[in-house]
A and B are shown apart, each in its own frame.
Chain A
Amino acid sequence: MILRKYEELMDRIQVTDSMRSRILNNIRAAGPEPVPQRPALRLYRRALAAAACFALLVTGVFFFFPLQSPPVEGFPSPSLSNPVGDITEAASAEELSRLVGFEVSDLEGLPFPVEEKTYTSHWNQLAEIQYTGQDQTAVYRKAPAAEDISGRYDVFDSTIEQTVRHTTVLFKGNSGQYNLANWTEGDYSHSLYLSQGIPLEDFTQLISQLLP
Chain B
Amino acid sequence: MESYLILEPLWVNRLLDGVSRAARALFARSAQPEQAPADRTDGREALNQRAEQLLDRYGNSILRLAYSYLHNMSDAEDILQDTLIQFLKATPSFENSSHEKAWLLQVAGNLSKNKIRYNKLRHSDELDESLAEEQRTDLSFVWEAVKALPEKYREVVHLFYYEGYPTAQIAQILGRKESTVRSDLRRGRMQLQQILKEAYDFEKV
Contacts and interface: CB of A to CB of B under 8 A. Distances in A.
Interface size class of A (residues with CB under 8 A): 35 or more
Interface of A: 1-10, 12-15, 19-20, 22-24, 26-28, 31-39, 43-44, 47-48, 50-52, 54-55, 59, 62-63, 66-67, 69, 71-72, 75, 78, 80, 82-84, 86-87, 89, 122-123, 125-126, 143, 146, 149, 151-155, 174
Interface size class of B (residues with CB under 8 A): 35 or more
A63 B80 CA distance: 54
B34 to A, nearest CB: 10
Contacts of A32: 47, 85, 88-89
Given A31-B47, A47-B23, A63-B15, A6 B80 contact: no
A91 B75 CA distance: 28
B18 A155 contact: no
Given A67-B18, A125-B118, A15 B80 contact: yes
B85 A80 contact: yes
Given A5-B139, A126-B118, A22 B19 contact: no
A175 to B, nearest CB: 11
Interface in B78-107: 78, 80-82, 84-86, 88-89, 91
Contacts of B158: 10
Nearest to B201: A1
Contacts of B26: 47, 50-51
Contacts of A19: 77, 80
Interface in B54-85: 55, 59-60, 63-64, 67-68, 73, 76-78, 80-82, 84-85
Interface centre among A33, A67, A78, A86 (most CB of B within 10 A): A86
Closest 3 CB pairs of A and B: A34-B43, A62-B18, A51-B23
Contacts of A152: 175
Given A55-B15, A82-B85, A4 B117 contact: no
Given A24-B55, A55-B15, A123-B114, 9 more contacts: A3-B202, A13-B60, A36-B32, A47-B27, A63-B15, A86-B78, A126-B117, A151-B117, A153-B174
B117 A146 contact: yes
Interface in B109-162: 110-111, 113-115, 117-119, 127, 130-131, 138-139, 142-143, 146, 151-152, 158, 161-162
Contact of A87 (B35, B43, B82, B88): B82
Contacts of B205: 1-4
Contacts of B82: 82, 84, 86-87
Nearest to B113: A151
Contacts of B201: 1
Contacts of A28: 48
Contact of A22 (B32, B77, B146): B77
A66 B51 contact: no
Given A67-B22, A151-B113, A6 B84 contact: no
